[in-house]
Structure 1
Amino acid sequence: MHQTQARISLNGPTDLLTTVPLLLGFHPDHSLVIVGLIDGELQCTFRVDLPGSADHLEHLQDLTAQLSLNECNGSVVIVYGEAELAQAVAERAATRLVAAGMKPIDQLRVDGGRWFSLICGNACCPTGGLPLPETSAASCEVAVAGGYAAPDRSAIAAQLAPAPAGRRAAVARAVLAALMADAELDWVAQRDLDLQAIDHWMDAKLLPEPEAIAAVGLALGDLDIRDYALRRINSGRFEGNRVDLWLWVTRHLEDDLVAPAATVAGFAAYRFGNGVLALEAFELALRASPHYRLAQMLMAALQAGIPPGALSRIGCGDREEAEVNDGPTCPADAP
């Protein structure tokens, strides 16, 4: 399961259906998508895989708790797949949503480039469906704001694919050289260099080369430096939360260093509303380090449907005011 969150005004099924892939980050297939509404406005979007057949509906995940957590009072059910299974899935999902006080205002099916209403029997919704347009006013609005739909989920996972072997080897050599150099520095000097590296690369227009990747990767292994990076992401000052930077660093690191970087990348994606990319990053972190606690916590939050905005104090710990050495304040404390 994954979620996205946005507040968008919608004017009919085609607005919604053309926008959902941009909110999810990819074009769904064989999926149940539940759109949560607050007073008719889109609040959040959740997606899960369909069961293998209508005989296995007990495996269909119930998403009502996630919508309730986001304070939704309405919903739309969308099923991507063949007719018989879609009808059964929609009915089951709608029953649960009605019982939870979030009655669907529509139930839709998408298949083969066409969309179908599962509850409207009027001439406006022919049994053969209607062509699904490529864009709409709402989807253009989301695209302008930075929304992008990959062809499928595998294309999202590919964003975390390891960098070419030669570049990873260069980073590994730089890691060894940095460790030898670090041995000659005291803790305060090393901490200052690590903070400067985070600040520099979050502001930089270019992506780091191997020596700098090694420095950032090693720095994130310090929990204080990692949390400083999380606070910088939470500040909202950086375009796209610099997901590009954190993905780049993650892709170049070996397993012994990858968990902190992948977790930071996932956090940046989560805060930006890209739930599926966040999930892929957390899974990568936990494959490398199964007990990495922050990745475990953030994955649990994502799967529970906790809104990205609820993460605004992640990385702040017990801090009440400013970062040490006059760094940025935590978002909840900032003026």
Structure 2
Amino acid sequence: MHTTQARIRLNGPTDLLTTIPLLLGFHPDHSLVVVGLINGELQCTFRVDLPGSADHLEHLVDLTQQLSLNECDGCVVVVYGEAELAQAVSERVSVRYHAAGIEPLDLLRVAEGRWFSLTCSKPCCPAEGLPIPETSPASCEVAVAGGYAEADRSAIAAQLAPAPPGRRAAVSRAVLAALTSDAEIDWGAQRDLDLQAIDHWMDQKTLPDLEAIADVGLALGDLDIRDYALRRINSGRYEANRIDLWIWVARHLEDDLLAPAATVAGFAAYRFGNGVLALEAFELALKASPHYRLAQMLMAALQAGIPPGALSRVGCGGREEAEVSD
């Protein structure tokens, strides 16, 4: 199930604040988080770093464009940080959202495991704040849908860390061996083998061995095979879009083969609703191949706030709906 497809019921700040880390993929700190709403229902979640102090608010990305692109008519603003900066940030973004026709329904601050209302002074919202519980009914719904939260953003980047040198060297040797054997196979037969490899490993519960990693990595270098993998991801048939598979393959490849696999991993994460992991994967792809076009396009879409559902035709080209479904 896609976390982007899960229906999440939020009943107050506790539900919201326990759910945000699962939606982002990590526990935010020194951050502005805005939860976009349409008719009171959760539509999207965006996060950016805070500036160093209230004197540098001109450096703050206020996320108005992203909320507007997702057609939000309301939002909840949560600032993770110290009180003075949180007050200044919330006031600044509220003005921007009002001007864009997006109503800020609540302004909250989070610090040291407690939440504080920036708009309510009633006994329900004491000045000393209230503790944030570990879980809530809403966060459990998101967890069941596949959401999880790392301790911080660096832990997400670590998921894409290269495999040990010995394993990558073994995959490189397998790549050379595969290229030698592939020279004896005609294009049509090789294409069939590549398609079968994508289908096979997407259906498996285990991860490919070193030789199979080489086969999949080489296959993704063919744009037609890569797009086939994107269509399989878009089908929604595979648990968590098999993000684990694509990351596993990418981690074992050298730079000459890395960009397609990392981009497919990022696409799978993007479609699943894990924008932070997607961004890390696209950055990895572009570090290996700065001009890899699909990674450039998907990163631009992600940074602009284009919703995952808008990517349902990526990889389809001019194919008809029946062919894509088939």
CA distance in structure 1 between the partners assigned to 2:71 and 2:324 by the alignment:
25
- 1:158-169 matches, within 5 Å, as 158-169=158-169
TM-score computed with the length of structure 2 as normaliser? 0.97
2:210 pairs with 1:194: no
- SS for the counterpart of 1:127 is coil
In structure 1, what is the Cα distance between the partners aligned to 2:26 and 2:124?
28
Match of 1:314 in 2: 314
- RMSD value, Cα: 1.3
Q: Is the 8 A contact 2:36 2:67 kept in 1?
A: yes
Partner of 1:170: 170
8 A contact 2:266–2:281 mirrored in 1? yes
Q: Deviations over 1:91-133 (max 9, x none)?
A: 1111111111111110000001110000101111111111111
- Does the aligned pair in 2 maintain the 1:5–1:307 contact within 8 Å? no
Contact 1:114 1:130 in 2 (8 A): yes
Offset of 1:69 from its aligned partner?
A: 1.3
Is 1:95 the equivalent of 2:89? Answer: no
Report the AA paired with residue 269 of structure 1.
A
Shift, 1:330, TM fit:
2.3
SS where residue 123 of structure 1 aligns? coil
Contact 2:6/2:145 (8 A) holds in 1: no
Q: Which amino acid aligns with 1:214?
A: A
More off after superposition, 125-134 vs 217-226: 125-134
CA separation of 1:4 and 1:275: change in aligned 2, threshold 3 A: farther
Partner of 2:154: 154
Q: In structure 2, how many angstroms separate the alpha carbons of the residues matched to 1:232 and 1:18?
A: 32
SS of corresponding position for 1:44 = strand
SS in 1 for 2:107: strand
Structure 1 residue 172: Cα displacement: 0.6
Mapped pair 1:134 → 2:134: yes
Q: Which residue number corresponds to residue 242 of structure 2?
A: 242
In 1, are the aligned partners of 2:6 and 2:142 still within 8 Å (CA)? no
Per the TM alignment, residue 140 of structure 1 is displaced from its structure 2 partner at its CA by 1.0
Within a 5 Å distance, the mapping from 1:166-315 to structure 2 comes to 166-315=166-315
Q: Is the 8 A contact 1:5 1:44 kept in 2?
A: no
User: In the TM superposition, what is the alpha-carbon distance from 1:6 to its structure 2 partner?
Assistant: 5.5
C-alpha spacing 1:20/1:79, structure 2 compared with 1 (3 Å):
same
Paired letter, 2:221: G
Q: 1:326 aligns to what?
A: none
Does structure 2 retain, via aligned residues, the 8 Å contact 1:24–1:45? Answer: yes
Q: Report the Cα distance in structure 2 between the residues aligned to 1:106 and 1:222, rounded to whole angstroms.
A: 49
Does the 8 A contact of 1:114 with 1:129 survive in 2? Answer: yes
User: How far does the alpha carbon of each residue in 1:229-251 deviate from its partner, in whole angstroms, 9 at most, with x for none?
Assistant: 00000011111000000000000
Give me the whole-angstrom Cα distance separating, in 2, the residues matched to 1:267 and 1:121: 44
Q: Residue by residue, what CA displacement relative to the aligned partner does 1:275-299 show, whole Å, maximum 9, x if unpaired?
A: 0000000000000000000000000
**Which amino acid in 1 is paired with 2:92?**
R
Q: Give the secondary-structure state (helix, strand or coil) at the position aligned to 2:159.
A: helix
Report the alpha carbon displacement of residue 50 of structure 1 after superposing the two structures with TM: 0.3
In structure 1, distance between residues paired with 2:302 and 2:88: 27
| Counterpart residue number, 2:65 | 65
For the structure 1 residues 108 and 51, does the alpha-carbon distance in structure 2 shift closer, same or farther, using more than 3 Å as the test? same
For structure 1, the residue ranges without an aligned partner over 5 or more in a row are 323-328
Cα distance in 2 for residues equivalent to 1:114 and 1:6: 27
> How big is each residue's C-alpha offset from its partner over 1:177-230, in whole Å with a ceiling of 9 and x where there is no partner?
001111111111111111110010000111000100000000000000000000
Shift of 1:7: 4.0
* 3-state SS of paired residue (1:8): coil
Secondary structure of 1:116's counterpart equals strand
The structure-2 alpha-carbon separation of the partners of 1:243 and 1:278, relative to structure 1 and needing over 3 Å to count, comes to same
Distance in 1 of aligned mates of 2:141 and 2:200: 32
Q: Of residues 325, 330, 333 in structure 1, which corresponds to 2:324? A: 330
| Other structure's SS at 2:110 match | strand
Q: Which runs of 5+ in 2 are unaligned?
A: none
Q: Is the 8 A contact 2:162 2:252 kept in 1?
A: yes
Q: Tell me what 2:76 maps to.
A: 76
Contact 2:246 2:265 (C-alpha < 8 Å) held by counterparts: yes
User: In the alignment, what sits opposite 1:110?
Assistant: 110
Whole-angstrom distance in 1 between the partners of 2:71 and 2:194 = 40
Q: Contact 1:5–1:23 at 8 Å: present in 2 too? A: no
Percent identity for Structure 1 against Structure 2: 83
Question: What is the CA-CA distance between 1:62 and the residue it aligns to?
Answer: 2.3
In 2, Cα distance between equivalents of 1:144 and 1:284: 29
Check the 8 A contact 1:4/1:275 in 2, yes or no. no
Once the two structures are TM-superposed, the CA of residue 70 in structure 1 deviates from its matched residue by 1.1
The C-alpha deviation readout for 1:252-277, integer Å capped at 9, x for no partner, is: 00011000000000000000000000
Offset at 1:166? Answer: 1.3
